[in-house]
Amino acid sequence: KSDRVVGIASSPDGKGYFITAADGSVYAFGDATYHGSRGGQRSNGAVVGMAVDPTTGGYWLVTSKGAVYGEDAPNFGSASAHPVPSSIVAMAAAPLGAGYWLAAQNGHVYAYGAATHESAAHGRLTSRVIGIASSAVGGGYWLATADGAILHVGKSGSYGNVPLRAHSEPL
């Protein structure tokens, strides 16, 4: 039995997708190729997200404590070696592979491999971070907050926010 769904990621060619649950179960749809899962295995924290390696088609799962588990995707490191001050909430793959970002609820971003720009959101948050997406032009990402704000870092560009400021949540 799997737990609640916590993440979705497209296959490298966009003709399929993967879904993951908090227990680490992974399901593949369309042309997405299943590479394994953490379902039924002990993990360092609940799985909170996933990202697909664009070069291998494998994927990473990330837990709230910053542990990263790769399924046919190279390991570039994790934040679980030291206590993270705020829960990890999401991850994104570097657009050309060879790295990923882990985003924490407080806006801290951990970069591994070819991913760059750590911790760029400190002091600019109006609400807790809920997601991260990489920019296809490389070198940057967007952080989404619970109140609809979008913060851009590196070469990601700013395209607007969702006007939810009246419903801000405390960090």
Dihedral pair phi/psi, residue 166, rounded to 5°: -65, -15
Q: Residue 94 above 80 pLDDT?
A: yes
CB 143 within 8 A of CB 107: yes
- Residue 83: the pLDDT is 81
Going 126 to 141 to 91 to 132, the CA torsion angle's sign is positive
Over residues 111-166, the pLDDT tens digits come to 999 888 776 566 678 899 999 998 877 678 888 999 988 888 876 555 555 544 43
Closest CA to 138 of 90, 101, 88: 101
Cα–Cα–Cα angle for 131, 27, 29, rounded to 5 degrees = 95
> Residue 171: what pLDDT?
43
**Residues 92-114, mean pLDDT to the nearest whole number:** 91
pLDDT the model gives residue 80: 86
Give the full edge-to-edge strand order of the sheet including 150-153: 129-134, 141-145, 150-153
- pLDDT: is 157 or 102 the higher one? 102
Q: What is the pLDDT of residue 168?
A: 41
The whole-number pLDDT of residue 70 equals 95
Q: Confidence band (pLDDT; 50, 70, 90) for 169?
A: very low
- For residue range 46-92, list pLDDT tens digits in order: 999 999 999 999 999 999 999 999 999 999 999 988 788 899 999 99
Dmax over CA atoms of the chain, in Å, equals 43
Residue with tokens 């952080």: 143
Written as one string, the DSSP assignment of 146-167 is TTS-EEEESTT------S-GGG
